[in-house]
Structure 1
Amino acid sequence: MDQAEVRRLLQEVAEGRSSVDDALLRLRMAPFTDLGFATLDDHRGVRQGVAEVIYGAGKTVDQITRIASAMWERGQRTILVTRIGPETAEAIGAALPVEYSELGRIAVVGEGPKADGSGTVVVVTAGTSDQSVAEEAAVTAEALGNQVTRVYDVGVSGLHRLLAHTEEIMRAEVVIAIAGMEGALASVVGGLADCPVIAVPTSVGYGASFGGVAALLTMLNSCASGVSVVNIDNGFGAGYLASMINHRRSGS
């Protein structure tokens, strides 16, 4: 149950289409569901505005399918499943409607909501190799009700490519800057944008990049104001945070 469902329930009570006792019973049943191997937090959507997200890595295909099915049965119509392969997406699709991004290894069960944020989330990558993390961020933001613009392969080794997209960056409500190697893109974007910049270091790079640690440290030490940093390869975390920022002024 999410905030929209709670509003509908309260509206039903106000209009006399549901009794107070029936509404109370539905709310009491909602806090969590014990599946034996997993405990669904059914009230997360009420508390935070976004339902629980299924992290697929380390879970079996059967476990993921059963969790998604349980959420669907309880009325959740947009379910995000991260870090899964095509075989898992296919298994989910046999029971539920699903749209899968193989590049981002992320699936949306059901239909994504309409974009109701106050502006646009712009996702920028340094290189093509960063696009898997970028798609995880972009699909996450879209599934949470945001308009997303993708600006890919515009890293600092060819700075003119990024400057060609200055207008999109300056119009953004939030920018997600994704880079591996030395991770300098976030500072450059932070020097152009007048909105929050969420930096995502990726594990892309040669030996001395230390699996993304070099980019992480560069981003943490950014000289540009307004740059925050999430963990290495954490596209989901960036997309989620961008959605929270983008919905603050819209009130949704």
Structure 2
Amino acid sequence: MSGEVARLHPEQEPGPSETPYERRLGELLESVASGATSPEEARRALRDLPFTDLGFAKVDHHRELRQGACEIVFAQGKTTEQVVAIVERLLSGNDGPVLVSRAAPEQSSAVRRLGAAHGIPVVERPAAGAIALARNIPAPVGEVLVLTAGTADLPVAEEAELTATLLGAGAEIVADVGVAGLHRLAAARERLASADAIVVIAGMEGALASVVGGMATCPVIACPTSVGYGASFGGLAALLAMLSSCTPGTVCVDIDDGVGAGYAAALIARRVP
């Protein structure tokens, strides 16, 4: 886990997997049972379950209860006003961190202002267009290792690392360990052995995922990137290579899908005994 995010919850210790949303729902039910809250008050508190309809978006407040993390806001294709409205509803309906992915600079600026207005720390990965309102991040459980084949793959890796961290896994990036210099990967073999889940971010021919899959004892989540030119076809060559990997335990997400890779890796890491 990065020191930047660790500072946001230095006092926390790993504990039960109950989410903040589950805890709040339990407190409301206990309050009704004790008579401190009336059924009508509880009905008003629950009226936005499972979602709030904004007309242009149905904000899913129930997702944290179902999956352990609130809805991630995909900013690409949305206006800044729509992103702000969705984030505001998530802040009011949940009490965990809120992640915005694929944000344009104007959208990131608006989210930063929203964080300042609410007094919530902001964590950003500008190259990835990822920005988070980082409140109540779960104490880290398990370890996700994010490897990149090259430096150009770092934006996708940063998206994966931030996603895994916000979901409550320890996450670390080891950059530039591609197959053109396998001695670089060999130097990280102890980290490979200690990880609970590994994300491999690679463009070009995507060979790194199969190599890591043959060395690792944990699941490997391959994430092809659009880095490359010519016959790499914007990441298609890497995608097909990863899907065709002969190493058992290696699975694949879509091109440039750092969120999907980090999310899956965190779910795996947090469930490892």
Q: Shared topology, TM-score over 0.5?
A: yes
- Range with bigger deviation, 37-46 or 212-221: 37-46
CA offsets, 1:9-68, max 9 Å, x none? 334446654345543542343221111221111111122222111000000111101111
How do 1:193-212 and structure 2 match up within 5 A?
Answer: 193-212=216-235
- For structure 1, which runs of at least 5 residues remain unmatched after alignment? none
Moved more, 35-44 or 141-150: 35-44
Amino acid in structure 1 at the alignment position of 2:271: R
Equivalent in 60, 63, 72 of residue 91 of structure 2: 72
Cα 1:194–1:14 change in 2 (3 A) is farther
How well do the aligned residues superpose, as a CA RMSD in angstroms? 1.9
Matched-pair contact (CA < 8 Å) for 2:48–2:61: no
- Report the Cα distance in structure 2 between the residues aligned to 1:246 and 1:15, rounded to whole angstroms: 38
> Residue in 2 aligned with 1:139?
162
For residues 72-151 of structure 1, the aligned pairs below 5 Å read: 72-96=91-115, 97=120, 98-111=122-135, 113-117=137-141, 119-151=142-174
- The alignment's TM-score, normalised by the length of structure 1, stands at 0.92
- The 5 Å alignment of 1:20-31 reads 22-31=41-50
Alignment of 1:225 with 2:248, yes or no, is: yes
Contact 2:124/2:130 (8 A) holds in 1: yes
- The aligned amino acid for 1:3 is E
Partner of residue 188, structure 1: 211
Contact 1:56/1:81 (8 A) holds in 2: yes
The TM-score with structure 2 as length reference comes to: 0.85
2:147 match: secondary structure: strand
AA aligned opposite 2:237:
A
Alignment-mate amino acid for residue 236 of structure 1: V
Q: Matched residues in 1 for 2:55 and 2:103: separation?
A: 22
Opposite residue 91 of structure 1, the aligned amino acid is A
Matched, 1:56 2:75: yes
* Identity among equivalent pairs (%): 48
In 1, are the aligned partners of 2:242 and 2:252 still within 8 Å (CA)? yes
Q: What letter corresponds to residue 47 of structure 1 in structure 2?
A: R
Counterpart of 1:242 (choices 254, 262, 265) is 265
**Residue deviations 1:173-215, cap 9 Å, x none?**
0000110111010111111110000000111112100111111
- Displacement after TM superposition at 1:115 (Å): 3.0
Contact 2:73 2:100 in 1 (8 A): yes
Measure, in 1, the Cα distance between the counterparts of 2:79 and 2:27.
Answer: 35
CA offsets, 1:145-194, max 9 Å, x none? 11011110000100000110000111000000110111010111111110
CA distance in 1, matches of 2:127, 2:85: 24
